[in-house]
Structure 1
């Protein structure tokens, strides 16, 4: 599998051409790998890019101009080979363009460019989506990086915590319907925090991902048993955020999203989907988030 590695004195970062997927952040100072290494016993991915949809469509398809288009969970970009468009000492850009195969399931011409840029202890992930069609296109896009927990010897998953922006007392979230994989949007739960912190629990993902709407999370970190962060994700201006792990797995995904899965029962046109991004012909959508290593 073709990959590109960018390095500096602090970090070594590897990105695969397949899915333009971040596959390693090696912390040289602390001698540890921070990205989940895709053990298939739990989950065989590292940090997939979710495009042209985050999560699932209700019924496994979306409707555009009266026609139904089948689309799997999280779209096709994560399973597609990107071309390397540019690279330098501290960055690499991968590009995916629409083709005849993609247009069978997603009837829009587009160019998706994903750049990973390293600056000190900070990795910036940049998305550029250009509408190269002659009509408005509709999509959602998200990140899904999985970070190792149990990074210290002789520690357990439940010795670690999530911490959020200082002063956060609670967060509200919705869960996914087990049958359809879409959100139960009318039932809201609260994540009660202590000092902006929530101790990880082995059963917290028994009902799949926790889905946070309304731009509640702009910074989230995983912290060591002594309370110090070792990795954080900063996603200012993102309307949605997911937190997920396979039950029993030693990783946690911190997922910044622009849009999310359908609500259970939604059967409207894609243009009517809550949170959908509508991009006019010839225009470019740009968004970025940062992964910070401590």
Structure 2
């Protein structure tokens, strides 16, 4: 599927309802990572019904333990296009026998992309057609490639408008889960910090507490390259791979489990709930720099 206006050309696949291309015509720049498996085979996966890993790859739902895969199954599922217009397209993934083996709820996940000038709005709607409360986390994971083939991480800055510093936690590599006991500070100068290889030595930087509502990947001189607005998201991740020419900006409604988490999914911090017959809605916006 393709959405296109005078500024952007966006392509989306039915597999995972994943954005596969964002081309900025004004700046002649391919903004989205192309999925080179040398570094990372994905481009902009949707994380559902879990963001990141659950502790020891299991989740407890109504006293029954289910196996989980990192970031859930939506990213590897084929969606159905249910609406296609000039500036918007929507995709649907519905529960079935296969999904209920790992996630027992009835659900309908609708992903809508809307193009407007230099921005692409990514909207999620999670419907609960069942007869019990449904719990889940959901997130975005777009990877933004660098403007030039020879560019490195040190050619870029991250800008967080309105912030003077941020706090983050990391993944405990031995447990493959978040360690909230150790909190680190990301110092900013003029709302910015340099991007370095060392930033990602311990996987993603995890920002809790709704700290990030806008972020920009900028050239070293401060020129905005690509940005994101994500108001009202409690969690946010920033991630890359060693020597990879991209940075992922990840708005999350809930996140991976903490080390040792063994309670019901319904008790998890920042878990989302959709009551029977109700829907959950959230959106974020990707923006090309001016």
TM-score by length of 2: 0.98
Question: Which residue of structure 2 aligns with residue 179 of structure 1?
Answer: 174
Residues 1:51 and 2:34 aligned together: no
Question: Which residue of structure 1 aligns with residue 26 of structure 2?
Answer: 29
Shift of 1:40: 0.3
The separation in 2 between residues aligned to 1:152 and 1:225, in whole angstroms, is: 13
Among candidates 158, 177, 198, match of residue 193 of structure 2: 198
The separation in 1 between residues aligned to 2:66 and 2:230, in whole angstroms, is: 30
1:268-283, aligned counterparts within 5 Å?
268-283=263-278
Shift of 1:154: 5.1
The separation in 1 between residues aligned to 2:234 and 2:126, in whole angstroms, is: 17
Question: Which residue of structure 2 aligns with residue 162 of structure 1?
Answer: 158
Among candidates 113, 116, 120, match of residue 116 of structure 1: 113
The separation in 1 between residues aligned to 2:91 and 2:62, in whole angstroms, is: 31
1:1-294, aligned counterparts within 5 Å?
4-149=1-146, 151-152=147-148, 155-166=151-162, 168-294=163-289
Contact 2:151–2:245 (CA<8 Å) still a contact in 1?
Answer: no
The separation in 1 between residues aligned to 2:78 and 2:191, in whole angstroms, is: 40
The separation in 1 between residues aligned to 2:114 and 2:13, in whole angstroms, is: 14
The separation in 2 between residues aligned to 1:36 and 1:179, in whole angstroms, is: 29
CA-based RMSD: 0.9
Q: 1:19 to 1:153 in 2, by over 3 A?
A: closer
The separation in 1 between residues aligned to 2:195 and 2:77, in whole angstroms, is: 33
- Which ranges in structure 1 are unaligned for 5 or more consecutive residues? none
- After superposing the two structures, state which structure 1 stretch, 181-190 or 74-83, moved more: 181-190
Shift of 1:157: 2.0
Question: What is the total number of aligned residue pairs between the two structures?
Answer: 289
TM-score by length of 1: 0.97
The separation in 2 between residues aligned to 1:92 and 1:181, in whole angstroms, is: 36
Shift of 1:136: 0.4
Shift of 1:206: 0.6
Q: 1:101 to 1:155 in 2, by over 3 A?
A: closer
Question: 1:89 is paired with a residue of what secondary structure?
Answer: coil
The separation in 2 between residues aligned to 1:43 and 1:143, in whole angstroms, is: 16
Deviations 1:31-54 (A, max 9, x none): 110000000000000000000000
The separation in 1 between residues aligned to 2:183 and 2:220, in whole angstroms, is: 30
The separation in 2 between residues aligned to 1:64 and 1:154, in whole angstroms, is: 48
